[in-house]
Amino acid sequence: MNANVASTSTNNLHIAAFHTMPTPHAVQAKLPLTEAATRTVENGRDELIRILKGEDKRRFVVVGPCSIHDPIAGMDYARRLKALAAEVSDVLMLVMRVYFEKPRTTVGWKGYINDPHMDDTFRIDEGMVLARQFLLDVNELGLPAGTEALDPISPQYLGDLIAWNAIGARTTESQTHREMSSGLSTPVGFKNATNGEVGVAVNAILSASRPHRFLGISSDGKVSIVHTTGNPYGHLVLRGGDGRPNYDTVSIALAEEGLKKAKLTPNIVVDCSHANSYKKPELQPLVMADVISQIVAGNRSVVGVMIESNIVAGNQSIQADRSKMTYGCSVTDGCVDWETTASMIRDAAQRLRGVLV
């Protein structure tokens, strides 16, 4: 690592250091994609695309911790989810939420890549390798992974291991994220804004579907002009906003109308967490049950749901003394516990059997 700042009287006044990162190619060479992981990523993306095209009548569920902070607990969760995925695969496709980058309302821990040791040492170089190892392990189990694409450079390091990307509520309106999405290799779910505005996500889907030219990095770490071809698999994620849910039948009908007006396929994912459950994780089962009722009643636009779930319910603060922390409990948003998650998914599968069209 080096640390030098070429500052002048007008430049880099607030930058203390530049530490060089290993290139994406170097990180990938250290932890290469295996055959089993490649199969999981390719099959996961294909299944998602078939669901988005209406060729596969199942629905997908992006489910897992609000953020990964402990890879041992994360893999414990992944193994449970893999077994559950096999049980419900006739009607539901499960994608594990593997979120490493947290967009904060103000400040706070920004995730496993930014600060993997959770002690403000900010070893992004180590975090990137640890995140890649975790994604490899999840994919080798045969479980596809979904993540939030927040940092526009990270996909060059990790994108080959991701089956589904989200653009978050705080960045759906950002040109940088729309440009990045236009080049991502996966289907991308754009969330409505934190104030509940859905139009920005519809605009994001349109923007990302077109080719763009912008500044980025190549796999050998060179600043480059990136040429993208456009992403045809953008869809809408309703997460509620401004303290109000938006998964009810009227909100979904309005969202469908907005997508159709923009000449987009009305594909909607409902995030059972965030403002849809007033940030009370214990309300997520009610949201999910309501959305499943809409599908059972004939709704075709809801293609998936998202659940924030962990081994243990709720959340906890990060403590310097790790022995005081609860295993398998979120350090960001509160989650439902494993038992609740399994029964939400089993109930949904039970109700969907025989009714999916």
Ligand X SMILES: O=C[C@H](O)[C@H](O)COP(=O)(O)O
Ligand Y SMILES: C=C(OP(=O)(O)O)C(=O)O
Would you tell me which residues interact with ligand Y (CB under 6 A)? 66, 99, 103, 148, 168-170, 191, 239, 274
Q: Using CB under 6 A, which of 18, 29, 32, 108 touches ligand X?
A: 108
Q: Give the separation between CA 289 and CA 296, rounded to whole angstroms.
A: 10
Site mask for ligand X (CB under 6 A), range 194-233, x = bound: ----------------------------------------
Interface with ligand X in residues 225-284 (CB under 6 A): 274
How does DSSP assign 279-293, residue by residue? T-GGGHHHHHHHHHH
Backbone angles phi, psi at 347, to 5 degrees: -60, -45
Q: Give the separation between CA 253 and CA 271, rounded to whole angstroms.
A: 16
Tokens representing residue 318 in the block? 């990060």
Q: How far is CA 306 from CA 64, 122, 175, 227, in A?
A: 9, 29, 25, 31
Q: Give the separation between CA 192 and CA 240, rounded to whole angstroms.
A: 7
Q: Which does 108 bind (CB under 5 to 8 A by kind): ligand Y, ligand X, none?
A: ligand X
Q: Using CB under 6 A, which of 8, 10, 105, 323 touches ligand X?
A: 105
Q: Indicate the residue whose CB is closest to ligand Y.
A: 168
Task: List b or e across 321-341, with b for residues whose CB sees 16 or more CB atoms inside 10 angstroms.
Answer: eeeebbebbbbbbbbbbbebb
Which CB atom, from 124 or from 129, has the smaller least distance to ligand X?
Answer: 124
Q: Which does 94 bind (CB under 5 to 8 A by kind): ligand X, ligand Y, none?
A: none
Q: Does 314 bind ligand X (CB under 6 A)?
A: no
Which CB atom, from 24 or from 196, has the smaller least distance to ligand Y?
Answer: 196
Which CB atom, from 130 or from 306, has the smaller least distance to ligand X?
Answer: 306
Q: Does 39 bind ligand X (CB under 6 A)?
A: no
Instruction: Say if CB 27 and CB 129 are below 8 A apart.
Output: yes
State the nearest-atom distance from the C-beta of 167 to ligand Y, in Å: 8
Q: Interface with ligand X by CB under 6 A: which residues?
A: 66, 102-105, 108, 274, 332-333
